Amino acid sequence: MGAIIGLLILAIIILVLLSSCIKIVPQANAMIVERLGAYQGTWSVGLHMKLPIIDRIAKKVSLKEQVVDFPPQPVITKDNVTMKIDTVVFFQITDPKLYTYGVQNPIMAIENLTATTLRNIIGDLELDQTLTSRETINTKMRSALDVATDPWGIKVNRVELKNIIPPAAIQDAMEKQMKAERERRESILKAEGEKRSTILIAEGKKQSAILDAEADKESAILRAEAEKEKRIREAEGQAEAILKIQQATADGIRFIKDAGADDAVLQLKSLEAFAKAADGQATKIIIPSEIQSIAGLVKSVSEMAKD
């Protein structure tokens, strides 16, 4: 019975040892295996087995891109302005063996390297350049860090300046400058608005004057046309009246001729016409000699009739 129990215990121990020797490496990970303290190999994704007791997993390494946010670092610009800048570094492990054996503490090494590189770059820039050259600083830092971390099996993909914190006095001066700039822009916009408004008002008055002038012109044209039409109608009326008078006179003369009147009758009719003319406003009337003789004849006949 004791032998059976011993065999069971031995079987359990063997199963535990075998299970501990079986390892599964997940996706985007790698394992560094050491044998008797020496580097044996790097396990990639999949199922792996190691020798019990002799082999061990020295380090499990993530191959994903990692992000490290470092605290603000004091830096001094070229014009002796002290400020604090915090950075964010995006890196990825490309060689697990170099990452494991290349440096004691990779994250601390990257942090110190970032601080020194940042001080070197900012030391060549003035305050205004520092505030406006983020992209240039990011590019220079990424290039320098990528070269420095290559022996550690690390690739620096991107470096970003998260915050640039100038001194309080500089911040107050910058705020005052920004306020003055905003007020200046507001004044310019206000002046441009007033100018635009004045131009629009002047253009409106100009258009109104043009329209009024055109309206007056059209009105004058209409009045002239109306006056012209009036005069034409008056002239046509007078012409028609004269024509009717002449027509009536012609009809009267034709009637007298048709009635067989002699020259004496015609001369008497002429005398009647002159008599009517004498009733008008004329102060002097010249009577032809023929009519004068007829007038004398009429007078003689009248006297004989009285006798």
- Bridge partners of residue 86, in order along the sequence: 163
Residues 231 and 146 in one domain: no
Q: Is 6 within a domain? A: yes
Say whether both 69 and 162 belong to one domain. Answer: yes
In a domain, 74, yes or no: yes
Name beta bridge partners: 155.
92
Both structure tokens of 17: 């040892």
Residue 266 reports pLDDT greater than 70: no
pLDDT at 306 over 50: no
Domain finish residue from 166, 189, 209: 166
Percentage of residues of the chain with pLDDT beyond 90: 28
d(CA 88, CA 158): 8
Per-residue pLDDT averaged across 224-241, rounded?
83
Q: Name the residue with higher pLDDT: 132 or 297.
A: 132
Cβ atoms of residues 268 and 297 within 8 Å: no
Residue 293 lies in a domain: yes
Same domain, yes or no: 246 and 231: yes
Mean pLDDT of the chain, nearest integer: 81
Does 56 share its domain with 85?
A: no
75 and 133 inside one domain: yes
What domain range is 225 assigned to?
Answer: 176-253
Rg of the chain in Å (alpha carbons): 64
Do 115 and 156 have their domain in common?
Answer: yes
Residue 204 in domain: yes
pLDDT at residue 302, rounded to an integer: 46
pLDDT beyond 60 at 298: no
pTM for this entry: 0.55
Same domain, 128 and 139: yes
Decide if 43 is inside a domain. Answer: yes
Average pLDDT over residues 3-25: 77
User: Looking at the 3D structure of the chain, how many domains does it have?
Assistant: 4
Domain assignment present for residue 307? The answer is no
Same domain, 208 and 231: yes
Could you tell me if residue 171 is inside a domain?
no
Same-domain pairing of 150 and 185: no
Q: What pLDDT was estimated at residue 286?
A: 52
- Under 8 Å between Cβ of 115 and 141: no
Query: Does residue 306 sit within a domain?
Result: no
> What distances in angstroms separate CA 60 from CA 19, 25, 28, 51, 54, one per listed residue?
18, 9, 11, 18, 18
Q: Which of 131, 166, 201 is at the close of a domain?
A: 166
pLDDT digits (tens, 9 = 90+) for 77-124: 888 888 899 999 999 999 999 999 988 899 999 999 999 999 999 998
**Cβ contacts of residue 169 below 8 Å, gap of 6+?**
none
Average pLDDT, integer, range 144-152: 93
Q: What CATH number is associated with residue 45?
A: 2.30.30
Helix axes 263-278, 168-258, angle to 10 degrees: 140
User: What pLDDT is stored for residue 276 in this prediction?
Assistant: 53
Q: pLDDT tens across 158-200, in order?
A: 999 988 888 888 777 777 877 888 888 888 888 888 888 889 8
Please state, in angstroms and rounded to a whole number, the distance separating the CA atoms of residues 22 and 15.
11
CATH classification at residue 123: 3.30.479.30
CA-to-CA distance for 241 and 231, rounded, in angstroms? Answer: 15
CA pair distance 67, 46, nearest whole angstrom = 26
- Considering the domain architecture, whether residues 150 and 198 belong to the same structural domain is answered as no
Same domain, 45 and 72: no
Contact criterion met (CB below 8 Å) for 89 and 118: no
Amino acid in position 263 = D
Of 166, 190, 206, which marks where a domain is finished? Answer: 166
Q: What is the pLDDT of residue 13?
A: 76
CB 270 within 8 A of CB 252: no
Between 295 and 12, the higher pLDDT residue: 12
Distance between CA atoms of 55 and 40, rounded to whole angstroms? 8
Same domain, yes or no: 226 and 265:
no
Strands (E), 131-255: 154-165
